[in-house]
Amino acid sequence: MNQEARSICSGCQLPVLSEFYFCPNCGRQLRSKPISVSVGKQIALYLFSFFLSPLGLYFSYKYIKQPLEKTKVVGWVIIVLTLLSIGLSLYAALAVFQQYIQLLNSLGLPH
């Protein structure tokens, strides 16, 4: 005999299967759906977090708090890419400023 795990909907108090995401009677959300970690979604997230680095932190938080280990790994990769992007941006900005200062110094302008 197949025993299905059941729970009670907090909205309408009717029994529902524990694997349901929404109550079939009242439509109340019973649990949140797992976040997609398809290859295409991962590539899009990684590119987004690298090229729009500060915004990647939002997605990393969203993925890290998920229960599945694979989604947590995606979240940590997003954090690493975001920090790498910020570091490279700061390094490039510093190099540009140093060249600008050298150019100003070579012109010999009075202070």
Q: Which residues pair with 20 in a beta bridge?
A: none
- Locate the domains of the chain by residue range: 1-33, 35-111
Identify the pLDDT of residue 24.
Answer: 87
Q: What is the DSSP string of 87-108?
A: HHHHHHHHHHHHHHHHHHHHHT
- Average pLDDT (93-99) is 96
How many percent of the chain have pLDDT more than 90? 45
Radius of gyration, CA atoms only, the chain:
25
What is residue 33's predicted lDDT score, i.e. its pLDDT?
Answer: 77
Name which of 35, 66, 33, 63 is nearest 49 in CA terms: 63
Residues 15-65 have pLDDT tens digits of 888 888 888 888 888 887 778 788 999 999 999 999 998 888 898 998 998
7 falls in which pLDDT band (50, 70, 90)? confident
Beta-carbon contacts of 18 under 8 Å, excluding residues fewer than 6 positions away, are 4, 5, 6, 7
| Cα gap 48→54, rounded to integer Å | 10
